[in-house]
A and B are shown apart, each in its own frame.
Chain A
Amino acid sequence: DAKTTQPPSMDCAEGRAANLPCNHSTISGNEYVYWYRQIHSQGPQYIIHGLKNNETNEMASLIITEDRKSSTLILPHATLRDTAVYYCIVRGGKATSYGKLTFGQGTILTVHP
């Protein structure tokens, strides 16, 4: 699976959009981009995933560049409860790889009042 690079930390004001970048320059054609987050003392929570098209759900939007070498997770109106570690994960398309997610250090997002 391709390696990802994320900034170690970011700040965001409450009510503003939080844009979390991720670099995955070695991504291959059948690899998906996943985003999870982990709030302190809890297990990781799935946010969104995509292959090459932009995706949106009730939690966030995922913007993937045309060359697929980077992506941005957007939380449109950040709240204090969005303070967490956000993980960008690239995972291959092997049918038998099951849930083998490789978590890095992630980005610590702090939302300020």
Chain B
Amino acid sequence: ETGVTQTPRHLVMGMTNKKSLKCEQHLGHNAMYWYKQSAKKPLELMFVYSLEERVENNSVPSRFSPECPNSSHLFLHLHTLQPEDSALYLCASSQVVLQNVGEKLFFGSGTQLSVL
């Protein structure tokens, strides 16, 4: 148990569906992240939220829409996805302290997404 919980664990959706991934952290951290892990590819950073403000968007297509309503919750809203978006989507959190780069990321177990 890492203190970061992701739901659902598995998701199958059609290309016309709208779904949301949920992440909750119980660690009191002030930053949250979405990463994507496609088959046989390295993890890719998608979005970063710090103190509920989006501070990073790594050229992610608009069919992925993140939302961070508070410091403990992070959502990834999905709509009109493509089959190539099938991947493991991982949420992570950390405590960011300026001038201290020894931060640790705590990851959830991920949502395995299949787009048909």
Size category of the binding interface on chain A: 20 to 34
Contact A99 B31 (CB under 8 A): yes
Known A91-B101, A98-B55, A99-B48; judge A44-B42 contact (CB<8 A). Answer: no
- The A interface, classified by DSSP as helix, strand, loop or mixed, is loop
> Which of B31, B90, B96 makes the CB contact (< 8 A) with A43?
B90
Within 8 A of B (CB), among A72-113: 91-105
Give the complex CA separation of A40 and B92 in angstroms: 17
- CA distance in complex: A44, B4 (Å): 12
What separation, in Å, do the CA atoms of A32 and B104 have in the docked complex? 12
Q: Please classify how large the interface on chain B is, using the bins under 10, 10 to 19, 20 to 34, 35 or more.
A: 20 to 34
Interface membership of chain A positions 23-38, coded 1 if the CB is closer than 8 angstroms to chain B and 0 otherwise = 0000000101000100
Task: Determine, out of B61-69, B70-78, B79-87, B105-113, the stretch whose residues face the partner at the interface.
Answer: B105-113
Report if B50 contacts A (CB, 8 A): yes
Residues from chain B with Cβ under 8 Å of A32 in the complex? 101-102
B115 to chain A, nearest CB (A): 19
B27 at the interface (CB under 8 A from A): no
Q: From residue B105, how far is it (CB to closest CB) to chain A in Å? A: 5
**Minimal beta-carbon separation of B43 from chain A (angstroms):** 4
Give chain B residues whose Cβ lies under 8 Å from the Cβ of A44: 43, 90, 105, 107
Neighbour of A46 across the interface among B42, B43, B48, B105, CB < 8 A: B105
Query: How distant is the Cα of A49 from the Cα of B91 in the complex, in angstroms?
Result: 21
Enumerate chain A residues within 8 angstroms of B39, measured Cβ to Cβ: none
Pair A95/B90 contact, Cβ less than 8 Å: no
- A107 vs chain B, min Cβ distance (A): 13
- Interface set, chain B 9-59, CB cutoff 8 A to A: 31, 33, 42-43, 45, 48, 50, 55-56
